[in-house]
Structure 1
């Protein structure tokens, strides 16, 4: 997770009002079929994998992001009908520049479980671009793709990489969104790979970090989807929430590199429920409930096109950095909800 900020002298400021109707104890969510939840396990008090899978099923959560090749979780996922976004961890990228290593990875972590486990995407690296390992991402993607093709699964499983919004050199206004020069060096050929294979770009999108990094220019309501009026006018497009502005900046950046038809899957988004002033249960519940409702509608630039989204995260994780990083979970480790959000089928 990384920060993203929007600044503008013309950014309309609104007062910090809580909308009581959004802060209900139980929130009924529509469009659950396009929503997943990230299963992180950086905790020494989390339930066993089978209990986690059972919890997903009991909550009608039909998609999962799994951050590494967790044999226990993959075994528990057999027959669950849960669709999986599986990461290739960053430390394996250089190794997977060898085609034989990529073939072995796909055999061990995909073929050995298919079709009992319904893999949807493979994220080759998480928030690597730009950075010291960015050069290894595309060759690893190409080798994983070749192995997927050899297995005849290219129509079922799409290969991509997950980026943070730091890849945006110019995020504002959304219509002028563009990738930074450092990121574009690596993203230009990766985006062409996505175009060629009909795969989406995976992006971790956090209005929370944008807000806390720039409270002078961004209102809490704009970040929580609760602004009562339009905040940003950008030509024909009107923005009442920060999530849409970030997403449309990413869509604009893709258009600028000749990829207007590449979809974006939100591979992480969330709000912490403890650890600071705005990190409250009410704010976390408000953000995530509104996020899940809102993504069914698309963005101003992609109106009516639902955005597949993975909420971060299933559990509070006590082995993450102390404070906010430990408090993004929908559930406590004892499987009791931090707040209740229903995911209808």
Structure 2
């Protein structure tokens, strides 16, 4: 048996080692950024890579598997979420796992090593923008998952499909969160697949749209995490619209029997100009608070201590965006690589 003195010495050394290790909150989640490319004036990929590394950004979402973009990230150590274009889904759904395997090889893994791919986003906002493709989402995901299984990548690369917040027919209060009944035939098998594959529910959340569309009921401070007021919902206290929006999805999934499925926010942001309340100051307040929430691991009132992985939109302004003017002004960085506002990503 060890002597008390030896035991104390060993314990002291262990405590000293623990003190020297970097602190990492158990619920901390990564903060990534979306790399939108609907513009004709973006800097070349090498400068983009340099910008990302100098700012400690190691998680990027790209919206389609462009070969030159993938090649530019190869070997950089930066992790990617790669989007599958909506129009490809019918072929992936009909072609089976063999076709899905070949598609992955030809369009992604031929240009970048699989170790840099964290997520594959199968389509984007299908139900809002391209409902024609809705029946193809789950079959396409199933085939892609089986292809990843065959390649022993199903545990390291997760599959999901990002949805707009409008898939909820009721989102306020959060405890009333309910999926639109018109999509019930899609959402249940979709959630079942996420549950079986231990993949996250991906959602694009923009409190900016909620504020500008309902400013009579949603205060700017509540949307920007600056509210000194709070509202109670079933014993839970909400101080900002972001947490309330996320938890509405948690409740909605619980209603369908899938309350264990994790949530990640694949797009969120605030414009710097071009619309009501669009300013550098407000963009800094919103994105800064979202990023701090993720890295602190605080979670939401419904899921405390479980940090939400988020991807901020957008890396640069995109002058090729259509629609309202503010759509072109979500960029966090200027074209010369300097920050529009000072935000921390870790």
Q: TM-score range by the shorter chain?
A: 0.7 to 0.9
> Corresponding residue for 2:19?
none
Conserved 8 A contact 1:78-1:116? no
User: Residue 342 of structure 2 corresponds to which residue in structure 1?
Assistant: 340
Give the Cα–Cα distance (whole angstroms) in 2 for the partners of residues 111 and 268 of structure 1.
24
Structure whose alpha-carbon radius of gyration is higher:
2
Q: Compute the displacement of 1:166 (Å).
A: 0.7
**Structure 2 CA distance, aligned partners of 1:33 and 1:301?**
16
CA distance in 1, matches of 2:172, 2:252: 11
State the partner residue of 2:302: 301
Distance 2:259 2:335 in 1: 41
Q: Do 1:47 and 1:333's aligned partners in 2 also have CA atoms closer than 8 Å?
A: yes
Name the residue aligned to 2:108. Answer: 110
3-state SS in 1 of match to 2:121: strand
Give me the whole-angstrom Cα distance separating, in 2, the residues matched to 1:213 and 1:277.
10
Q: Which secondary structure state, in structure 1, belongs to the residue aligned with residue 278 of structure 2?
A: coil
Name 2:257's counterpart in structure 1.
258
Aligned mates of 2:173, 2:123 — CA distance in 1 = 28
TM-superposed deviation, 1:76: 1.4
Q: Which piece of structure 1 moves more, 215-224 or 170-179?
A: 170-179
1:108-257 alignment runs, 5 A limit:
108-113=106-111, 115=113, 118-129=116-127, 131-230=131-230, 232-257=231-256
Q: Normalising by the residue count of structure 2, what TM-score does the alignment of the two structures yield? A: 0.87
State the 1:71 CA deviation: 1.2
Cα pair 1:170 1:178 within 8 Å, conserved: yes
Distance 1:76 1:171 in 2: 40
- 2:148 and 2:335 mapped to 1: Cα distance? 35
What is residue 92 of structure 1 aligned with on the other side? 88
Secondary structure at 2:81 match in 1:
strand
Paired residues of 1:126 and 1:162 also in contact (CA < 8 A): yes
Per the TM alignment, residue 101 of structure 1 is displaced from its structure 2 partner at its CA by 3.5
Offset at residue 333 of structure 1 (A): 2.1
Structure 2 counterpart of 1:67: 63
Q: Indicate the RMSD between aligned Cα atoms, in angstroms.
A: 1.6
More helix by share: 2
Aligned-pair distance for 1:50?
Answer: 2.1
CA distance in 2, matches of 1:125, 1:56: 25
Deviation at 1:114, TM superposition (A): 5.1
Structure 2 match to 1:56: 52
Match of 1:311 in 2: 312
Q: What is the alpha-carbon distance in structure 2 between the residues aligned to residue 253 and residue 33 of structure 1?
A: 22
- Closer, same or farther in 2 for the Cα pair 1:307/1:134, shift >3 Å? same
Unaligned runs of 5+ in 1: 1-29
Q: In the alignment, does 2:79 pair up with 1:83?
A: yes
Give yes or no for contact 1:167–1:180 (8 Å, CA) kept in 2.
yes
Where in structure 2 are there 5+ consecutive unaligned residues?
1-24
1:289 and 1:111 map into 2 onto residues whose CA distance is 34
Residues 331 and 32 of structure 1: CA distance in aligned 2, closer, same or farther (over 3 Å): farther
* TM-aligned CA deviation for residue 48 of structure 1: 1.1
In structure 1, C-alpha distance between the alignment counterparts of 2:45 and 2:340, rounded to whole Å: 19
- Write out per-residue CA displacement over residues 238-281 of structure 1, whole angstroms, 9 at most, x where no aligned residue: 11100111101000011111111100010000000000230001
Helix, strand or coil at the partner of 1:203: strand
